Amino acid sequence: MKTVEVGNNVTVHYVGTLEDGTEFDNSHKRGAPIDFEVGAGRMIKGFDHAVAGMTEGQTKSITVSAEDAYGARNPEATQTVPKTAFGEDFEFEVGGVIQGNGPYGPFVATIDTINESDVTLDMNHPLAGKDLNFSIEMVQITQ
């Protein structure tokens, strides 16, 4: 029976939830498992480490600390942007997630506050500072 080792390409299904049970991602609902090379740095560290040693068909549940997921929240990672930087029909909503392009490339941000002429964006990853729970199913291991 094959066992996952660093350097293997794997196919997994997973469900990701927060501590309160809120589901933030589910490969089953998307209709497709994910493929990645173990140890290549494409996945969050805790998830990558958790699949090592698994066998095809095995399932496991894990908790990944914020440190091994998206890191701690940086309270200074905010930016105030004029509302005019958004389209005319843009609907501003506190907690709304936006995607954009900045001087350092693409980014994702959450609207933190809305004022009359500008908005403050939280540039932290939406899952930063949170421990994450995963239910993982090892679908396939390839060399």
- pLDDT at 45 > cutoff 80: yes
Q: Are residues 57 and 98 in the same domain?
A: no
List the CATH number of the domain containing 102: 2.40.10.330
In a domain, residue 3? The reply is no
Q: Are residues 15 and 67 in the same domain?
A: yes
Q: Are residues 59 and 21 in the same domain?
A: yes
Q: Are residues 58 and 99 in the same domain?
A: no
- What pLDDT sits at residue 143? 77
In a domain, residue 4? The reply is no
Task: Let me know: does 136 contact 64? Beta carbons within 8 Å.
Answer: no
Higher pLDDT, 101 or 56: 56
Q: Are residues 38 and 88 in the same domain?
A: no
Task: Let me know: does 98 contact 108? Beta carbons within 8 Å.
Answer: yes
In a domain, residue 1? The reply is no
- Rounded CA-CA distance 143/137 in Å is 18
Q: Which of 99, 92, 89, 97 lies closest to 114 in space, CA to CA?
A: 92
**Tokens representing 48?**
């990558």
Q: Are residues 66 and 84 in the same domain?
A: no
Domain with 89, as residue range(s), is 78-122
Whole-number percent of the chain with pLDDT over 70: 100
List the CATH number of the domain containing 43: 3.10.50.40
Q: Minimum mean pLDDT among 21-35, 94-108, 125-139: which range?
A: 94-108
In a domain, residue 118? The reply is yes
Q: Are residues 19 and 52 in the same domain?
A: yes
Tens digits of residue pLDDT in 69-119? 999 999 999 999 999 999 889 999 999 999 988 888 888 899 999 999 999
- What pLDDT sits at residue 6? 96
> How many Å separate Cα 77 from the centre of its chain?
17
In a domain, residue 57? The reply is yes
Q: Are residues 88 and 54 in the same domain?
A: no
- What is the residue-averaged pLDDT of the chain? 95
User: Domain total for the chain?
Assistant: 2
- What pLDDT sits at residue 4? 97
Task: Let me know: does 27 contact 138? Beta carbons within 8 Å.
Answer: no
Q: Are residues 67 and 131 in the same domain?
A: yes
Q: Are residues 117 and 131 in the same domain?
A: no
- pLDDT at 18 > cutoff 80: yes
- What pLDDT sits at residue 76? 94
> How many Å separate Cα 16 from the centre of its chain?
9
